[in-house]
Structure 1
Amino acid sequence: MLDALTLDQMRMFLAVADAGSFRLASMRLGRAQSAVSHAIANLETELKTVLFDRSTRRPTLTSDGRALLDDCRSLVLRADLLRAKAQGMGSGIEIELALMVDTLVPLPAVGRALEALHATYPTVGVRLQIGTLGEPIDCLLQGTVDLAITVGEDLRDSRLEFDSLAPLSMAAVVGAGHALALIAKKGRVSTPELADHIQIVLMDPSPRSHGRDYGVLSQRKWRVGSQEAKLALIRAGIGWGRLPLWLIEQDLVEERLVQLSAAALGENGTTKSWVYLARRLDKPLLPAARCLRSALLAGAGLGNPADAVPAAD
């Protein structure tokens, strides 16, 4: 019966298949060659099939053996992950780590830190969410995430601790075919000229910025829920707005977007601030969260060190 199969038998099957030899497999496993041969024979009996052709000098997988190899490898891997997860639970390691990242922050940089986390704690699951404005802070305070990567100082809370991670930059831009692009190509754009046109701004799903707008100069506003939507509307020529430089570098190079130089928008239309990692003061970080924090602080690289990102408009 298949119930009599053991992980030990399957490990030996994989070892022989990978090594191409009963002798080499036994050396790698630190087991007697006879024990390896006996385990494979028992496995073949349980499966009622022949896994290796032993008629040649080196054992080779039969067609049945090749067909079962991946399934066997998957079972052993799942068993190892189960054991590691159980050990992690006993040692206080999280089963899952929840992280919310501000939409202004480049995800590839966060991915590098998460890669370091996975290498150290491969059994810990990750729940990654993207938020705007006050959403990362609110989710952190509500306990639905363990860590939050946020931008700027406007929405801080005294119940949280903040680690500065990296500077980034945002630039005020408009589509190449927009009327403001023609003005910008001739020189600086005035505040009244900006106010005459639709400004594309992020909306805050949290109540944290209720009644306040950041960096909004125009009375005509279109609100969107993500940087990608904001970029799409600006590219389409509907209005102007500020976007992170990492997101629009290629658009500027290929002249799909034009940067707006205006005194009200920072030097050459660029405004600056910092990206922060936030956590609750009343909730000690568990091992996986500490690992991710260390990876981020060690320089996962959230952008060009010469740049900085402001609180989003």
Structure 2
Amino acid sequence: MLDGMTLGQIRTFVAIADAGSFRAGAAKLLRAQSAVSHAIASLESQLGVLVFDRTGRRPVLTSHGKALLEDARAVLLKVDFMRARARALSEGLEMELSIVVDTLFPMPLVAAALRELNQALPTVRVRIEVAALGGPFEALAEGRCTLGITVGQGFSDPRIELASVLPVPFVAVVAASHPLAEIARRRARLRSAELAEHLQIVQEDPSRLSEGRDFGVLSPQTWRVSGQDTKRALIFGGVGWGRLPLWSVERDLGAGHLVRVPAAAFGSDGETTEPSYVAHRIDHPFGPAARFIRDWLLQHGKPAPAARPRRPRDR
């Protein structure tokens, strides 16, 4: 029967296996060697198998012991994790942190923040979702996430507090093989009327917050997509032109796969900048993990520039 098995016996088993001897295992556990020997004998009696061969000068794991050692380690890891989570809960730490990130925000920066969070608060589970346009705001408003990371100034809610993170540059681009690319190479600026002659790839808002509105749509010929990955793939494939975050296309521009479209409506060289924010509900609990991510992003992101007249934007 296994009902009499204790965590102490399991810890002793692992300690001896790691230390290589009963004496070294006892020293590691700060226990007498006789107590360690008794614990292993009791464990073997409970399991009904020998975990150590004691016939030589040093104990050697039996085949059963080798098979059970992995299980023993897993049990201890789970118990230690449970204790850490209980301690965290008593201190107000969240069990899970839910984040919705604007698809336009630099994901490498989010990954770096989450890596640091996992090292600092390893018991916190994270659920992350990527959404476009009003998606992060809608998720916050409906209470489906704790933190939202947004780009642009198109949305507001009195229940949602914004903290400025960093400016996100956007560029109008087209595939090097597209007819518009040759024009863009020759011309310093392109008028909206010229761009209107070519198909524009536009990101649709999956939320209801911008229903009936378009952002920066210059062409009467548009294809609507549900995600930035699809938008980038269509532009890269030469289907049409559109605007994308600079961080997501820098390599393609450098390699010559994409060409900047110097659209006058989007600023110099077809590039504009939008502010980004980390957002949370002021009426919802804001725990240590959420605070960690917010503070990390504020520290490592550059502050957004002062407010200025808004230009049309296309996602």
Q: Same fold (TM over 0.5)?
A: yes
Deviation by residue 1:43-75 (Cα, 9 ceiling, x = unmatched)? 112112221222333322222211111111111
Q: Give the aligned CA root-mean-square deviation in angstroms.
A: 2.0
For 1:22 and 1:11, the matched residues in 2 are separated by: 13
Letter in 2 for 1:34: S
**Partner Cα distance (2:204, 2:67) in 1:** 54
Distance 2:104 2:10 in 1: 48
Is the contact made by 1:106 and 1:302 (CA closer than 8 Å) also made in structure 2? no
- Whether the 8 Å CA contact 2:262–2:269 is kept in 1: the answer is yes
1:166 aligns with 2:152: no
For residue 229 of structure 1, report the CA deviation from its aligned partner: 0.4
Kindly indicate whether the alpha-carbon contact (under 8 Å) linking 2:172 and 2:243 is maintained by their aligned counterparts in 1.
yes
Asked if 2 retains the 8 angstrom alpha-carbon contact of 1:174 and 1:181, the reply is yes
- Whether the aligned pair in 2 keeps the contact of 1:105 and 1:302 (CA below 8 Å) is no
Distance 1:20 1:293 in 2: 46
Question: Are the equivalent residues in 2 in contact too, given 1:53–1:60 (CA < 8 A)?
Answer: yes
The alignment partner of 1:182 has SS state of: helix
Equivalent residue number for residue 236 of structure 1? 237
| Aligned equivalents of 1:236, 1:213: Cα separation in 2 | 24
Q: Distance in 2 between matches of 1:140 and 1:302?
A: 24
Where 1:168 maps in the other structure, the secondary structure is strand
Task: Describe the shift of the 1:223–1:302 C-alpha distance in structure 2 as closer, same or farther (beyond 3 A).
Answer: farther
The equivalences for 1:74-113 within 5 A come to: 74-113=74-113
Give the number of aligned pairs.
307
Does the Cα contact within 8 Å between 1:161 and 1:280 map onto a contact in 2?
A: yes
Instruction: Return the offset for 1:278.
Output: 0.3
| Distance in 1 between residues matched to 2:164 and 2:20, nearest whole Å | 52
The answer to whether the 8 A contact 2:203-2:224 is kept is yes
Contact 1:92 1:286 in 2 (8 A): yes
* TM-score normalised per structure 1: 0.92
Report the counterpart of residue 265 of structure 1 in structure 2: 266
Aligned equivalents of 1:8, 1:93: Cα separation in 2: 28
Partners of 2:58 and 2:302 lie apart in 1 by 52
**Does the CA-based 8 Å contact 1:104-1:312 persist in structure 2?**
no
Where does structure 1 differ by over 4 angstroms across 4 or more consecutive aligned residues?
A: none
Amino acid at match of 1:244: P
Aligned residue for 2:130?
A: 130
CA shift in 2, pair 1:120/1:264, >3 Å: same
- Specify the SS of the correspondent of 2:243: strand
Counterpart of 2:211 in structure 1 is 210
- Aligned partners of 1:36, 1:273: CA distance in 2, in Å? 64
2:247 counterpart SS class: helix
Q: Following the alignment from structure 1 to structure 2, what is the Cα–Cα distance between the partners of residues 235 and 266?
A: 22
Q: Which residue of 2 aligns with 1:145?
A: 145
Q: Deviations over 1:71-113 (max 9, x none)?
A: 1111111122223223333332222111000001232321221
Matched residues in 2 for 1:125 and 1:312: separation?
Answer: 34
How much does 1:302 deviate? Answer: 8.8
Residue identity matched to 1:17: A
Residue type of the alignment partner of 2:241: W
CA distance in 2, matches of 1:302, 1:30: 51
Residues in 2 aligned to 1:312 and 1:147: alpha-carbon distance in whole angstroms: 24
1:62 aligns with 2:79: no
Task: Read off the aligned partner of 2:45 and give its amino acid letter.
Answer: T
AA aligned opposite 1:292: I
Q: Is the 8 A contact 2:100 2:148 kept in 1?
A: yes
- Read off the aligned partner of 1:158 and give its amino acid letter: P
CA displacement, residues 10-33 of structure 1 (integer Å, 9 cap, x when unaligned): 111111111212222222222222
TM-score of the pair, normalised by structure 2: 0.91
3-state SS of the aligned residue for 2:161? strand
CA displacement at 1:157 relative to structure 2: 2.2
Change (3 A) 1:58 1:302: farther
CA shift, 1:126, in A, is: 1.1
Aligned residues of 1:97 and 1:125 also touching (Cα < 8 A): yes
* Percent of aligned pairs with the same amino acid: 50
Structure 2: how far apart are the matches of 1:302 and 1:95?
A: 30
Out of 126-135 and 14-23, give the one that drifted further.
Answer: 14-23
User: Are residue 33 (structure 1) and residue 29 (structure 2) matched?
Assistant: no
C-alpha distance in 2, partners of 1:19/1:104?
51
Q: Distance in 2 between matches of 1:291 and 1:250?
A: 31
Aligned to 2:195: 194
Q: Equivalents in 1 of 2:67, 2:9: separation in Å?
A: 17
Change (3 A) 1:119 1:195: same
Alignment partners' CA distance in 1, 2:89 and 2:218:
52
Residue 312 (structure 1) shift: 5.0
Asked if the contact 1:22–1:37 (Cα under 8 Å) also holds between the matched residues in 2, the reply is: yes
Instruction: Flag the 1:28–1:165 CA change in 2: closer, same or farther, 3 A.
Output: farther
Counterpart residue type for residue 295 of structure 2: S
**Residue deviations 1:169-228, cap 9 Å, x none?**
111101111111110111132211111111111111112112221121111111111111
